[in-house]
Structure 1
Amino acid sequence: MILLASFAGSALTDEDGDDIQWMPPGVHEIEPHSPDGEVKKITVLVDEAAAKAVEEARARYQAEFDAGRGDAPFTDFCHADQEASSWVLRVYWGGDDPKKGGIRAVVDWTDEGRAKKGKSLKRFSPGFYVSDEPDAEGRYHITGAPANMGGLVNRAAFRSIQHLSASAATEGGEKQHNNQDQNTMTEEEIKALQDENAALKKQLEDLQKTVAAMQEKDADAAVEAACAAGKIAPDLKASWKENLLKNPAAKELLASLPVNPAFRQTYTAQDNKGDGAKTGKALLAQHAAITDPAERLAFFREHEKELIAARG
């Protein structure tokens, strides 16, 4: 006896894989209809033996088609038995889980099937054979399926078949998850990422402070040396430092300025102590500003004690 039954809960979306729940596991009371439209209320058992019988039928159809003697196993639209919505590549038993198990089919959607599933047609309805009589418990057994193994429909009789965009088993029994499943994170994973992000942020802030301190120290040294050499007036040190911090390349311009003896005298006078001796800071700056090796050595010998003391 061939029956056609629409299973609810199998809304189709563009994120679907090629693996679908062809029929949910367990015992079900359904009201399928025969190809001639007759409706019959029956109880069916969907188990591993049923999956084996359906796969044997599918494999036989495929072998006959490959040999040029029959039709390839397929699914259609609304049981019209015309255009294919997919080609059925394999049928297997997925276990007893209501969503991830049952009789499952690996299908290759046609362009028309992929375009309509989840849009104009949101359900799947299998076509199958059952035993002529029920067993002692009143359950009919699935004995196989026709070459047209079902179709995309909208009218549904069952309420338990898996939504096709949910997790689905694939070849070898591995699990294939949709995008939503892949992006789901536990609270512990979220907390770990937050902690890692906070640590990286702290490291970046510390690095930025270190770089800023080095830049400021370098700007101070360049301005002090230029002032000691008489290249800029002491009252311009602040503005030059600000300029160097904004534009480090200005250091070359500062170094290229000509020497003005008046600026050097002003700088030396500002750095004099009450006893008339130059402070180590001024001497160090002047020593750093001297580029001629001989002049630099002579300056060092003249102020050796003060320079060594200033250097610590």
Structure 2
Amino acid sequence: MTTSAQETAAPAGRGSDIRRHELAAFLRSRRERIRPEQVGLPRGSRRRTPGLRREEVAQLSAVGVTWYTWLEQARDIQVSVQVLDALARTLMLDASERAHLFQLAGATDPTPASHCSPVTDAQRELLRRLEPIPACIQNSRYDILAYNRTYAHLLTDLDSVPPEDRNCMLLIHTDARWRSSVVHLEESMRLMAARLRASMAGHLAEPAWKMLVKRLKESPEFRANWERYEVVGARSKTKQFRNRYVGLLTLDHTDLWLSPEAGARMVTYVPTDEESRQRLEELYRLVQEPMPAASLTSSDSSR
């Protein structure tokens, strides 16, 4: 992102001087609390600034140093949601801090974690009652809006993933445990990219969609699949996962649509054979109680 693209004067009347100074102070305080080694930078013997330097935050966030300096100086400049998202990640903001950042900037956070979930109590109860069948509720952007305990441990430890990163497209390209659990990884990534492109046709101007694709393009695998311009619609499919607790699972993937349009859907994984059924029951039993040390090792490849 170039400085010239960022030095746009904010529209008249947008945001107050007080709010800009609050934003500047907040950014400085968050920057100064982060140790360089937390973000992979050497501390060095001559470092006088507590935490990160301004130029380091700018570099890690892929924004211009001059522009970021102006932001900390409370200058009247316009900030995009993409830049705010990058700053939130660089500064390791938690959910409350992230919401505060967007509020001070006078912007709406487009990530799914920032909005009230559309999932109803009845749908959450249905997810629970489907167990041991893994199930979740997703939208057409692959955001995971809700899930049951079996699904939480099917591919990775989903509870440990920040809510704003609970997206199947992001996880299959960035989460090592998720990737190692998908038996046919390359095929899955290609089909998911084609499905995302088909879904995005009705959301081309929406910031959340554009921000997701921008993040995904950091992956060479996604870029290669995205540039194929393939599109596929929703369809059921038999999938295989290599679960780290119980071994190989062969499951039928089914989408149950929760609205007339192709938006939110309940995704279920039903075992195709008796062995997979028994292993899902074992997984469900394991996730209901503290896991013994022996069960935390990778599953035997022969299973």
After TM superposition, the score normalised by the length of structure 1 is 0.18
Considering only CA atoms, is the larger Rg found in Structure 1 or Structure 2? Answer: 1
Q: TM-score, normalising length from structure 2? A: 0.19
Higher RCO (Cα < 8 Å, 6 or more apart)? 1
Name the one with the larger helix percent: 2
